[in-house]
Structures are given as structure tokens and as C-alpha cells.
Chains A and B, each alone.
Chain A
Amino acid sequence: MMKRRQFVQGLGVAGSLGSIALTSGCASSPSGKGPKVVVVGGGYGGATAAKYVRMWSDYGIDVTLVEPNGAFVSCPLSNLVLGGSKTMADITTPYDNLVKRHGVRWVQDMALRIDPDKRVVVLAKGGELPYDRLIVSPGIDFMWDSLPGMAAAGAKDKVLHGWKAGPQTIGLRKQLEAMPDGGVFAMAIPLAPYRCPPGPYERACQVASYFAQAKPKSKVLILDANDDVTSKGPLFKKAWKDRYAGIVEYRPKHKAVDVDAATNTLKFEFNDDLKANVLNVLPDMRAGDIAVKTGLATANKRWCEVDFLTFESIAVKNVHVLGDSIQIAPNMPKSGHMANQHGKTCAAAVVALLTGRQPNPMPVYNNACYSFVSAEDVVHVTSVHRYDADKKTMLPVAGAGGVSSAANELEGRYAMAWARNIWADTLA
């Protein structure tokens, strides 16, 4: 009990015990004596880093995870909730095991501010967390300024992105359910780079799959700012032609520049205005707010450049950045799988640096990304990435990786196995 109170007071949030998950029954509860690592963001990157810093330091490094959400909700597979073959419960995993099995201290709060000179994270509900090394994995936030109409009252509640799995996933599903048969669902895709390159095209398949069953006179209009489908192009186009003919229409070179939420109208740089029953607008994306605010977004004030051996920011010492927030290496996708790999690479480096060893000079890791073109059939893209000491970046290994030859049900089963395994590797 004493320990509990001291811990809470130490955080400066006495009285809000309910917001803090305390470790219990773990032989390796944080003693408060070891080096301190704070992780901001409990997604694929941050949660993995938190677990692996604990594991690979033989539970000697104190790890605090700052994550406001009560559970992990996976972006991968969230399009299946829109399609209706999966529920939110299917894609949600609690943080319990990080706490119970690995002794990660979970503070259910937002990081309000980072002070790299004092080496503290200031929490939204009050209190500070000191760190020796900080890992920032906040995912993406949106560049709303590029769509001025979205600042109108109520616009963001009506025109949803659904690009962070959670309440907006449910909201978008409800809009699809409420749409009359014969209606139009229009999705605007921003210029690359954005989170999850194949994600929008998978979403088009999932919404079309729902329409084919429930509202066959309805349409899915894809309005893509890019010149062509940015990932698995031939496979998605084949799915639209063979499976969803008359439902899906793909229009490249349609850069959305504004939205009138009141009339559900999209405005484009070069094309005519377009009205739809349900609008799904993916705004331009950048590193999460906390990363930008801390001065980590060194590339065009948008993405965070890192040393790929350690994921340490090139701008701010002792601060590491992971996942979708980083300025990616050539052909490295912004994916959950990749963020998990960043998490492990960074964790190994942080443990090495805090124990006076050299970080691994030669990281090698892979990406595997599955997209569901129906409730069962899946296409994939894979790649392997290896550190290049001369270019000081990760480069794809020539001759490795590739895509499916055709959508198939076997890969649908492997995609579900992938999800179970990566959720366990990240959180269990």
C-alpha cells in the first residue's frame, strides 16, 4: 500500500488511481532504481518497444507506457468491421499482459508536452514522468488545414476518416448501414506517403462486399489524389473488375482540396465537385501532434527523421521515434507490421545504449501486409529491409519480397494467423 501511494505521489496524480494500471504479482515489478524509459503511444510500435525493453533488459529497465486508450484497437483488420465480417471486439486487445507479464507501468493519459532539456514528459492530467530515454510512437495526425471546410462546426463529426481504428470505425459502419440502397459512398485518398498504403483500396473492397450483399444498387467511388493505385495495384483492380463490377469505380488524379460537410460535397484541385451519400475523407497525414510539437518532425515539419540503427531522432537527443511518424526509408511502408519491427530494433538499441554497449550495426527486418478483397480472400505484399552502412538507411533487399499471384482463401487464413501472432508479439 505504501509503495502504491509513493508511486502515485511520484507521478503527481494522487486521487486518480483509477487511471493508472499498477503492476501486481510480477516478480519483476519496477523498483524505480533502474534506468527509466518512457514510451509515448501504445500502438504497434510503442507497445512492442515497451515489452521488448523490459524483456531484453532482463526486467532491469523501468518502462512506463503513456497511452490514453483503454485497450489496443488494431487498424489492420478494421476495414473488415466496415465490411461487416468482424466486430470491434475481434480487433481489440487489452493492455493487461504488458502490465502483468512484463511489468510495464501503464499510465492511461496523454502526453501533453515533452521537455528534452529536463528529460520529462508532462502529462495532460498533471504530473511529470522523468526519463533517461524516451520512445515516441504517436502514429499519425491529420493536416486539416488542407481541407478548410472541415473546420466548420460539426464537419468532423459528419465526414469521417476512420483512419484510426476506434469510434470512427463504428461511426462509418453506422453511416454505411443507414445509407439507402442506390446511394454512393465516396472515399478521398491523399497523396502518398500516408498510413497503410493498401488500406484505402482494401476499404473499397470491404464496403463493396457489404453493398453487394445488402445494397446491390449502391456505388463505391474511389477518388485518389495519386496517379495510380499505390500498392498491389493489379490485384485490387482485378478484384474490382471481377468481384465488384458495377459497384466500384476508381478515379485517379483526383486531389481533394476541400469538403462541404453540410451538403456532403467534395471539391477537387482539377475535377468537378462531387456529392455523395457517405463521404469518407482521408486528409493529408503527418507525424502525431506530440512529435511535431516537440520539434521531432524535421522533414518538412511533417515526418520525423531518425538514425535507423537506434531510431533516435536526428534533432533531439535521447528521444527515439517509431512507426508511422517517421520519415520512412526507401520503399518502407507505414504499416503496423513495420512499426512492430521498429519497436524491436529500437528496444534492442535502447537497452544497449543504457547498458554501455554498441547497438546492432546491421538491422534486418521484413514487412508482410495482407489485404482482404472480400470477407475471406486475401492478397499480400512482402519486403525485406537491410541497413546500408554507406547510405545510413534501411534499403529493400533486391530480389526479395513480392505480391500474391492472385487473391486466395489460404492467405485469408494466414492473414488471421498473422493478426493473432502480431497482437501477441506486440501485447502479450
Chain B
Amino acid sequence: MKWNVLIAAGVFAAIAGASHAQSMDPLQLRSLAASCANCHGTHGVAEAGNESLAGANKDDMLKKMMDFKTGKKPATIMHQLSKGYTDEQLAALATYFSSLKK
């Protein structure tokens, strides 16, 4: 039982260590995420008409952002805005928003 917990903790640490979200200062990340709030709501909870980001699936969100960025997925403005953020920042944002309450 204890081993399971330790192994689980170890796996989690490995995943966390690999993620840039964990290496970015949490307050810096909070500010970066707040730059999305104008359209996607404070704490990622949007008003009607725009997509909420809070609690969304991390991998889906990151894939969508990368597809916007590479031009694979058409958009009205997100294909332009996503290009202003580094891949690391987009990954950190996806991790951050996925961890927030819906």
C-alpha cells in the first residue's frame, strides 16, 4: 500500500518535473493566465458566447492552442493571438486552466 503511494508520488513528480507549468513561477503564471480573462472570464469561467477554460482537459486544450498556432485549426482571432505565446507558455496555461474549478 505504502509502496503504491510512493510509486504514484514518484510518477507524479516525474510528470510534474517534465512540465514547464511547474517550473514557471506560480504568480507569473497566474498573471499570464489573467491575460486570457478579458474574453474567457476571471479564473477561466466565461460568460455566454465564449468558451470557458476552467477545468477543461489539459491535452485537448494544448492541442487546440498548438493547432491554432500552426494554422491547422481556423479561427477568428485565436490563430493570431496564440502566435504571441511560446509553446512553453501555452503548455503552462493549459495545465493551469485544467486545474481550475469549472
List A residues at the B interface (Cβ < 8 Å): 52, 55-56, 337, 340-341, 344-345, 348, 352, 357, 360-366, 368, 380, 382-386, 397, 399-402, 404, 410-411, 413-414, 416-418, 420-422, 424-425, 428
Most buried by A among B49, B80, B81: B80
Would B49 and A420 count as touching, CB distance under 8 A? Answer: yes
Would A416 and B49 count as touching, CB distance under 8 A? Answer: yes
Please judge, given known A-B contacts A345-B31, A348-B27, A382-B77, whether A421 and B83 are in contact too, CB under 8 Å: no
Please judge, given known A-B contacts A52-B34, A345-B31, whether A366 and B41 are in contact too, CB under 8 Å: no
Q: Which residue of chain A is the closest to B45 with respect to CB atoms?
A: A424
Would B89 and A364 count as touching, CB distance under 8 A? Answer: yes
Which residues, 12 to 58 on B, are CB-close (under 8 Å) to A? 25, 27-28, 30-32, 34-35, 37-42, 46-50
Would B35 and A348 count as touching, CB distance under 8 A? Answer: no
Contacts of A400 in B (CB 8 A): 80-84
Would B31 and A417 count as touching, CB distance under 8 A? Answer: no
Would B42 and A418 count as touching, CB distance under 8 A? Answer: no
A68 to B25 alpha-carbon distance, docked (Å) = 38
Most buried by A among B27, B38, B77: B38
Please judge, given known A-B contacts A421-B46, A422-B39, whether A364 and B77 are in contact too, CB under 8 Å: no
Would A380 and B77 count as touching, CB distance under 8 A? Answer: yes
Please judge, given known A-B contacts A348-B30, A417-B47, A417-B49, whether A368 and B77 are in contact too, CB under 8 Å: yes
Which residues, 63 to 102 on B, are CB-close (under 8 Å) to A? 76-77, 80-85, 89
Please judge, given known A-B contacts A341-B38, A421-B41, A424-B47, whether A386 and B84 are in contact too, CB under 8 Å: yes
Would B76 and A364 count as touching, CB distance under 8 A? Answer: no
A416 to B46 alpha-carbon distance, docked (Å) = 13
User: What is the minimal beta-carbon distance from B24 to any residue of chain A, in angstroms?
Assistant: 10
Would A337 and B50 count as touching, CB distance under 8 A? Answer: no
Contacts of B38 in A (CB 8 A): 337, 340-341, 366, 368, 418, 421-422, 425
Extra contacts, 9 of them, besides A365-B35, A417-B39 (Cβ < 8 A), are A341-B38, A368-B38, A380-B77, A383-B84, A401-B83, A414-B50, A414-B76, A417-B50, A418-B50
Contacts of B46 in A (CB 8 A): 417, 421
Please judge, given known A-B contacts A414-B50, A420-B47, A424-B42, whether A360 and B76 are in contact too, CB under 8 Å: no
Please judge, given known A-B contacts A384-B85, A401-B84, A418-B38, whether A360 and B77 are in contact too, CB under 8 Å: no
- Counting residue pairs across A and B whose Cβ atoms lie within 8 Å, the total is 104
Ranked nearest first, the 10 interchain pairs of A and B with the lowest CB-CB distance are A384-B84, A417-B49, A400-B84, A365-B35, A400-B83, A397-B84, A420-B47, A402-B80, A417-B50, A344-B34
A421 to B35 alpha-carbon distance, docked (Å) = 12
How many chain B residues sit at the interface, stated as a range, is 20 to 34
Q: Which residue of chain A is the closest to B50 with respect to CB atoms?
A: A417
Would A384 and B81 count as touching, CB distance under 8 A? Answer: yes
User: What is the minimal beta-carbon distance from A193 to any residue of chain B, in angstroms?
Assistant: 21
Contacts of A341 in B (CB 8 A): 35, 38
User: What is the minimal beta-carbon distance from A166 to any residue of chain B, in angstroms?
Assistant: 22
Would B37 and A344 count as touching, CB distance under 8 A? Answer: yes
Contacts of B50 in A (CB 8 A): 414, 417-418, 421
Would A384 and B48 count as touching, CB distance under 8 A? Answer: no
Would A420 and B84 count as touching, CB distance under 8 A? Answer: no
A158 to B82 alpha-carbon distance, docked (Å) = 46
User: What is the minimal beta-carbon distance from A207 to any residue of chain B, in angstroms?
Assistant: 26
